[in-house]
């Protein structure tokens, strides 16, 4: 398997962050314009939370969430590439992580059904932790 195969889902998660970021700002700018809101009312997270409805905050919360577990995913993908351990199970898990994170973002930014969000978040996390455990075992077995 080509070691660079891991970079498709890697860049996919980055592109997902870009899409959520864009959606968040389109929603905010529209809200500012339609409701004649002073953008200064969004100066801090606390003031933004009190100035806007939950539906407007969801994309922002989701974007913040895309800088939590995905950071581990990015680091792990770079590690796998650098040590030449990209294989089919890792790539499958990486695509699963991307897919479930995309569905999670869609849910979080739209209907925001918590149980659906939780299930997709958990599925993505399982894919990521599977990659981590496999990597640790490969490192441990290789050095034994």
User: What are the chain's domains?
Assistant: 3-143 (1.20.120.550)
pTM over 0.75: yes
Whose tokens are 């990015």? That residue is 74
Q: pLDDT at residue 5 above 70?
A: yes
At residue 143, the pLDDT reads: 60
At residue 38, the pLDDT reads: 86
- Say if residues 12 and 47 touch (Cβ distance below 8 Å): no
Q: pLDDT at residue 144 above 60?
A: no
- Say if residues 117 and 101 touch (Cβ distance below 8 Å): no
Q: Which of 20, 9, 19 shows the shortest CA–CA distance to 108?
A: 20
At residue 12, the pLDDT reads: 98
At residue 41, the pLDDT reads: 85
Q: Which of 131, 87, 97, 136 shows the shortest CA–CA distance to 9?
A: 97
Per-residue pLDDT tens over the stretch 9-50? 999 999 999 999 999 999 999 998 999 988 888 888 888 888
At residue 50, the pLDDT reads: 81
Is 113 in a helix, a strand, or coil?
Answer: coil
Per-residue pLDDT tens over the stretch 54-109? 899 999 999 999 999 999 999 999 999 999 999 999 999 999 999 999 999 999 99
């Amino acid at each position: 398997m080509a070691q660079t195969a891991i970079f498709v889902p890697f860049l996919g998660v980055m592109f997902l962050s870009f899409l959520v970021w864009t959606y968040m700002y389109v929603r905010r700018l529209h809200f500012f314009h339609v409701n004649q809101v002073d953008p200064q009312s969004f100066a801090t997270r606390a003031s933004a939370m009190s100035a806007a409805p939950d539906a407007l905050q969801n994309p922002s919360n989701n974007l913040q969430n895309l800088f939590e577990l995905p950071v581990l995913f990015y680091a792990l993908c770079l590690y796998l590439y650098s040590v030449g351990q990209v294989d089919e199970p890792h790539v499958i898990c990486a695509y699963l992580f991307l897919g479930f994170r995309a569905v999670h973002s869609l849910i979080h930014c739209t209907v925001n059904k918590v149980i659906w969000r939780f299930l997709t978040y958990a599925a993505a996390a399982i894919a990521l932790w599977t990659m981590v455990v496999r990597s640790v075992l490969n490192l441990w077995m290789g050095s034994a």
